[in-house]
Amino acid sequence: DTEVTQTPKHLVMGMTNKKSLKCEQHMGHRAMYWYKQKAKKPPELMFVYSYEKLSINESVPSRFSPECPNSSLLNLHLHALQPEDSALYLCASSFSVWESGGSGYTGELFFGEGSRLTVL
């Protein structure tokens, strides 16, 4: 099983709603990532979890709240979003988090299909 599964595929929400995006992998990967991608732009890193602990937060607004309940699951909780938050949200996983210095880099990424979010 080399899949990263994201649900839902599409989500429309109002600015006062609370919703969650879910990501699941069963490859034994210990690093999981959330990326945000706007149309015709490359993905932008939001969060990195390594061994179920948050290791990188790219100064993401607090209306986005990540959660890693176990090594296979990654959630992104959404609350009080703005229309400009509408984007494709991509989850990815890798065997381990990238290691500085280049040694032992095992960072091949496996991406999910993404959750397309529209905020009205």
Partner 1 sequence: KNEVEQSPQNLTAQEGEFITINCSYSVGISALHWLQQHPGGGIVSLFMLSSGKKKHGRLIATINIQEKHSSLHITASHPRDSAVYICAVKETSGSRLTFGEGTQLTVNP
Residue selected from 11, 74, 90, 117 as contacting partner 1 according to rule CB under 8 A: 90
Candidate ranges 14-22, 34-42, 65-73, 75-83; the one touching partner 1 (CB under 8 A): 34-42
Count of residues in the chain: 120
Cα pseudo-dihedral 52, 39, 5, 93, rounded to 10: -40
Q: CA angle, corner 69, sides to 68 and 75, nearest 5?
A: 50
Considering the complex, state which of residue 51 and residue 105 has its C-beta at the smaller distance from partner 1.
105
CA 7 to mean position of chain CA atoms: 11
Is residue 51 involved in binding partner 1 (CB under 8 A)? Answer: no
Among 45, 60, 73, 80, binds partner 1 (CB under 8 A): 45
Nearer to partner 1, 55 or 82 (CB): 55
**CA–CA gap between residue 71 and residue 66 (Å, rounded):** 14
What residue type is assigned to position 62 of the chain? S
Compute the least distance from the CB of residue 51 to partner 1, in Å: 14
β-sheet bridge partners, residue 45: 35
Binding residues for partner 1 (CB under 8 A): 37, 40-43, 45, 48, 55-56, 88, 90, 92, 97-102, 105, 107-114, 116
